[in-house]
Amino acid sequence: MTLGGKRILLIISGGIAAYKSLDLIRRLRDRGAAVRPVMTSGAQEFVTSLAVGALAADHVFTDLFSRQDEQDVGHIRLARDCDLVLIAPATADLLAKMANGLADDLASTVLLATDRPVVAAPAMNPRMWAHPATRRNIEFLRRDGIRFVGPMAGEMAESREAGLGRMAEPLDIVAAVETLLDEGPKPLLGRKAIVTSGPTHEPIDPVRYIANRSSGRQGHAIAAALAALGADVTLVSGPVTIADPVGVRTLHVERADEMRDAVLSALPADIAVMVAAVADWRVASAADQKIKKHPGESIPTLALTENPDILRTVGHHTLRPKLVVGFAAETEHVESNARAKLERKGADLIVANDVSSATGIMGGTRNTVKIIGHDGIEQWPEMDKNEVATRLASLIADRLRQE
């Protein structure tokens, strides 16, 4: 019951992603939260207030000028009698209203009147998300302290278009809410952390690239877990389809050299956790134009060259963080390879996992790791990647405390 006793005011605005809000209500309530729903008139075109009210087990507020609701609760009380305001889905229109302080319906009025933390899960067509007007609104809202979870990349529900604009998955939204309402100890307050996550894409030509199966789940979870302990976290992420963690500064990159530049620009830091599955090699000279297939001609050969080793660069840097943690994805000799890596990369800890195909760790949700340090090895049982992240974050906090 991570959200036991917490009161969430859930604003549902009018997008097709509103169907996911029904699942979101269940997930929030499963964790002990009380959910009080507000629906815009647009939202009621997509899901019924009957379904929302039944799942939330509360009255659904829809009308600014409802005499009964105003007498019973009132829009100002609605805005304040909660621990957090969550907007899911947050449409381009509602975000635009918020950015400009408009209050012409119940949802926008509540948002202008609230003094509680606000989390928004945007959902819209990729072109609307990319539009300069939306970019501007998001920038304003970020400066006003609004937190965002998502949107994610992927196919849109209403069209075959793909791109950034899908609402974050209900469980990612729940994780964001948990992070923000977490009142646990903050041993990493005042500490700066850099985390890398996901794969890198190394171009072959404008349409092809070399990649790997990394999902970014483990790295993103570690960034979130460090932030939950109070650290100021910069996450440098390769191309992934999962949402940026809440409460973390996320820089998006594609290639290994971009990832290195982003990591170095985030120094100095106290903690570096390099989780990304950086491609070891890139194509020596990526083609400017798509490489064409010509019948009868020989098959092209790709000449590769070595990528910068980001962990090693950080581990030997003049601004080396106090604690440098690397990952080792191995398919054999997991332990001895990890020990060698500790030395070569200048790391304090190596988190080693066996990614031989039978285990399905890469891209999966569970992980079995060994923590290898200069003073010994700890074997952890198989657990969820979020749990690995939480335990690793507290191990990092313990190490820094001992200094």
Q: Mind spelling out the 3-state secondary structure of 202-246?
A: EECCCCCEECCCCCCHHHHHHHHHHHHCCCEEEEEECCCCCCCCC
Which region, judged by CB under 6 A, interacts with ligand C5P, from 24-32, 34-42, 231-239, 301-309?
301-309
Residue 136 sits at φ, ψ, to 5 deg, of -65, -45
Q: Is residue 367 a contact residue for ligand C5P (CB under 6 A)? A: no
Token pair, residue 189, equals: 């307050």
Question: How many CB atoms are located within 10 Å of the residue 297 CB?
Answer: 8
Binding-site size for ligand C5P (CB under 6 A) equals 15
Least distance in Å: CB of 253 to ligand C5P?
Answer: 12
Question: For tokens 């030997």, what's the residue?
Answer: 316
Q: Is residue 35 a contact residue for ligand C5P (CB under 6 A)? A: no
Least distance in Å: CB of 235 to ligand C5P?
Answer: 13
Q: Is residue 37 a contact residue for ligand C5P (CB under 6 A)? A: no
Token pair, residue 277, equals: 């599955």
Least distance in Å: CB of 242 to ligand C5P?
Answer: 17
Residue 203 sits at φ, ψ, to 5 deg, of -65, 140
Token pair, residue 305, equals: 């060259």
**Exactly one of 309, 315, 323, 388 binds ligand C5P (CB under 6 A); which one?**
309
Q: Is residue 310 a contact residue for ligand C5P (CB under 6 A)? A: yes
Window 167-196: residues binding ligand C5P (CB under 6 A): 196
Distance of CA 285 to the CA centre of its chain: 32
The smaller minimum CB distance to ligand C5P, of residues 187 and 346, is found at 346
The smaller minimum CB distance to ligand C5P, of residues 114 and 307, is found at 307
x/- site string to ligand C5P, residues 242 to 281, per CB under 6 A? --------------x-----------------xxx-x---
Window 192-221: residues binding ligand C5P (CB under 6 A): 196
Catalytic site residue from 125, 137, 212, 307: 212
Least distance in Å: CB of 166 to ligand C5P?
Answer: 27
Which region, judged by CB under 6 A, interacts with ligand C5P, from 51-59, 157-165, 241-249, 326-334?
326-334
Least distance in Å: CB of 348 to ligand C5P?
Answer: 12
Which region, judged by CB under 6 A, interacts with ligand C5P, from 23-31, 122-130, 306-314, 383-391?
306-314
The smaller minimum CB distance to ligand C5P, of residues 42 and 245, is found at 245
Alpha-carbon distances of 71 from 107, 155, 289, rounded to whole Å: 17, 44, 67
Cα–Cα distance measured from residue 315 to residue 323, given in angstroms and rounded to the nearest whole number: 9
Q: Is residue 311 a contact residue for ligand C5P (CB under 6 A)? A: yes
β-bridge partners, 12: 39
The smaller minimum CB distance to ligand C5P, of residues 217 and 341, is found at 341
**Exactly one of 96, 99, 177, 328 binds ligand C5P (CB under 6 A); which one?**
328
Least distance in Å: CB of 277 to ligand C5P?
Answer: 7
367 carries an active-site annotation:
no
**What is the binding site for ligand C5P (CB under 6 A)?**
196, 256, 274-276, 278, 307-311, 326-328, 341
Residues involved in catalysis: 212
